[in-house]
Amino acid sequence: MRILFFGDVVGRSGREAVIGHMPLLREKLDPDLTVVNGENSAGGYGVTVKIAEEFFAAGIDVVTLGNHTWDQKDLVSTIEQQPRIVRPLNYPEGTPGRGFVLLQTRGNRKVLVVNVLLRLFMEPMDDPFAAVDRVLKAHRLGPGAVDAILIDMHGEATSEKMIMGHFCDGRASLVVGTHSHVPTADHMVLPKGTAYQTDAGMCGDYDSAIGMKKEIALAKMVRKLPTERLSPAEGEGTVCGCYVETDDRTGLALRIEPLRLGGRLSQTVPERGQ
C-alpha cells in the first residue's frame, strides 16, 4: 500500500497548498490512503466540518486533530456527523467523536487511522500509551486483520514521540508526529518494520512563527507588548509530510520518504515504487 500523510495545516495558506497540490501528488504517487492533520486549518485554531469536507473533496481520506480540537466550538455538536474527522484517542470517556477510524480503501483493504495526544509539556490527558495499546490489541496488523495502521501522535517532546514509535514498532505501518510545525530529518523504518518520523512539519507559510504572522509574535516575545491574537501568515504555503510504502503481506513499511513541496523550504517529492 501507498500512504501519504500531511502535517498540521495552518490557516488558508496551508489549506490552499494541500488542496492545490493534491492533483499532482495523486497522479505522481497514487496513494491508497491520504491523511492530513487539520487541527490548525480554521484560521489557525481547530477545524470545521465544512473545511474537513473540502479536504475530502480534494481526495483526503481522514482528517486528524490535536490539542486545538475544540477551538471551533461548533465541532462539539457536529463532529459526530463526520466519522472521518478523528480527534485524539485519549480524551476522557464520553467526549464527542472518536479517536480512530477503520475504513476500506481500494481492493477492499482495511486501514486504521489513530490520533493520540501526548503529555510532556502538553495539557494533562489520559495515558496515551495505554490508549494506543488497547486499540492495537483490538486491531492487529497483518493478513486477515488490518492491512495498514497509521498513528498520528500529536505532541511536543521529541523523546516522548520516539518512545511511542518504539512502543508501536512492529504493530503499525506508520507512526508520525505532529504539533511542532517543523519537519524533522529522522524519517526511518524502525527495527521491527514501522515507518517513523518525529514530526512531519506543517503545511503553511514558513515565513512566519510556526505558521503565524511573525510581526505579532515578535511584539509578544521580544517587547512583551499586549498584542492581537496570533493569526496565520498568508504567504505561499509549503506542503510538508511523508510518504510510506508497505508490504502487502505484513502491513509493515518498506520505505518512508519526506515530502516538501512549494513555498520556502527545500523541495523533495518522493518517487513511487514499482
Residue ranges covered by each domain of the chain: 2-261
Mean pLDDT of 135-149: 96
Mean pLDDT of 13-24: 98
pLDDT (0 to 100) of residue 225:
78
Mean pLDDT of 49-55: 96
pLDDT (0 to 100) of residue 32:
97
Q: Reply yes or no on whether the pLDDT at 137 is more than 80.
A: yes
Mean pLDDT, all residues of the chain? 96
pLDDT (0 to 100) of residue 274:
64
pLDDT (0 to 100) of residue 106:
87
Binding site members: 8, 39-40, 67, 154, 179, 181
Domain covering 2-261, topology:
Purple Acid Phosphatase; chain A, domain 2 (3.60.21)
Using alpha carbons, list the distances in angstroms from residue 194 to 30, 138, 244: 21, 18, 10
pLDDT (0 to 100) of residue 107:
85
Q: For the stretch 136-165, what's the b/e string if a residue is b when 16 or more beta carbons lie within 10 angstroms of its beta carbon? A: beebebeeeebbbbbbbbbbbbeebbbebb
In the annotation, is 68 catalytic?
Answer: yes
Q: How far apart are CA 239 and CA 154, in angstroms?
A: 18
Q: Reply yes or no on whether the pLDDT at 235 is more than 70.
A: yes
Binding site members for Fe cation: 8, 39-40, 67, 154, 179, 181
Which among 68, 139, 166, 187 is annotated as catalytic?
Answer: 68
pLDDT (tens digit per residue) in 70-103: 999 999 999 999 999 999 999 999 999 999 999 9
* % the chain with pLDDT above 90: 94
